[in-house]
Amino acid sequence: MSSLGRALLPFVAVSLGTWIGLGRPAPAAVTLRMHGAARPESSHGEDDPPPPVPARERVPFTFDGDGVSEPAPPWPQSNIDDSTQRAWLLSEGPFHPSNDGRRLVTFTFDDGPSPENEPALLAILDKHKIRAAFFFIGQYLQGEGGRAVEMRECARRIVESGHYVGNHTMHHRLLSALPDADALPEIDASADAIERATGIRPRLFRPPYGALDDRLELALHDRKLELMLWNIDVQDMKRSDPDDVLLRLKQELEYHQGGIVLLHDVHGPSVKAFHKLLTWLESTPWDPIHPERRGWDIVDLAEYMRATAASPQPYASREDLEKARARRAEAVAGGSADQLPVNPLQTSAADPVTAWPSIRAEQ
């Protein structure tokens, strides 16, 4: 075992305890926490306006798949008390304490639904037998106009195609900047709109910009909502070239060795990049017969949560995680980053991520 591994063992033990309910960390202090603060900014800056209603450009894909899979199974029973802590730790990516070679990837699509891109996206998902999770903005599902009707039909097709749906608030506002009187209806009105449109009241919740404070974490807990963040974000909404999106997705996935991927189905280049990414992932599949070979395993969000709960990140709490991020940032700024493994969470320095089929040649 590497010295890093030995150093992390106590944290693994504490974290495992947390996962199975042996010791819930103390509640965090009341401060604004911006998801991903130690990494590049996420796809929307907090000052950005809400995303526009998706444009009517259609991604030119044609598949014969009818888009219908098995219905999504009910969301597994989970300990809602630990939901937020788990979500923050998972925003660092999956942890790989053993050399099982399995690199989990799961896909989430935000800011839709998007009637223009959904036929292509659903066909791609169907063809590759992937169950994704879609986080809807409630306001798109409201109203009597033709566009609202189209949006609701689209949302229903997504559900009927077997995907998970989640709540991404009513108007995509920065919840932590709103008083309760405005923030709570953002959650509840969206849940109502999604339920009216699809018949499903989402269990999953994703805050716009990943921003949440303790007051809102409590509100999610009261509503038995499961916080769902991400660890792979390539700011796809700001990129118009699918190959650019693709390259960055590959880099992030290699760096984190898998994780929860955030993409936007309203953005045509993202759908195209996603399609190409699947070809790349499927070219190095995980093979349980040969665990010594690392490979990608595309799973749905429920399976991802189950699998990562068995191997949680080696931190007892979000505070510990953020301290580790700060240490890493310091090492990078101080020029000693080469003393760190490529990704301190995933591998030892002797087992660098660069052992993967390198994507550098494509740059």
Where on the chain is the footprint of Zn ion (CB under 5 A)? 110-111, 208
Q: Which is nearer to Zn ion, 8 or 193 (CB)?
A: 193
Residue 299 CB, nearest approach to Zn ion (Å)? 23
Q: 335 exposed, middle or buried (CB, 10 Å; 0-12, 13-18, 19+)?
A: exposed
Q: Which is nearer to Zn ion, 36 or 208 (CB)?
A: 208
Residue nearest to Zn ion (CB): 110
Q: Which is nearer to Zn ion, 110 or 226 (CB)?
A: 110
Residue 357 CB, nearest approach to Zn ion (Å)? 32
Q: Which is nearer to Zn ion, 115 or 208 (CB)?
A: 208
Chain CA centroid to CA 361, Å: 27
Q: Where are the beta strands (DSSP E) in 50-147?
A: 102-112, 133-136
Q: Which is nearer to Zn ion, 134 or 286 (CB)?
A: 134
Residue 325 CB, nearest approach to Zn ion (Å)? 22
Q: Which is nearer to Zn ion, 166 or 314 (CB)?
A: 166
Phi/psi class of residue 24: alpha, beta or left (left: φ > 0; alpha: ψ in -120 to 50)? beta
The amino acid at 13: A
Measured at the alpha carbon of residue 34, what is the angle toward residues 236 and 261, in degrees to the nearest 5?
35
Q: How far apart are CA 289 and CA 274, in angstroms?
A: 28
Residue 75 CB, nearest approach to Zn ion (Å)? 21
Residue 73 CB, nearest approach to Zn ion (Å)? 25
Residue 111 CB, nearest approach to Zn ion (Å)? 4
Question: Which stretch of DSSP H or E encloses residue 84?
Answer: helix 83-90
Residue 180 CB, nearest approach to Zn ion (Å)? 21
Residues 6+ apart with CB under 8 A from 330: none
Beta carbons of 346 and 308 less than 8 angstroms apart: no
Q: Which is nearer to Zn ion, 110 or 300 (CB)?
A: 110
Beta carbons of 105 and 296 less than 8 angstroms apart: yes
SS3 284: coil
Q: How far apart are CA 62 and CA 301, in angstroms?
A: 26
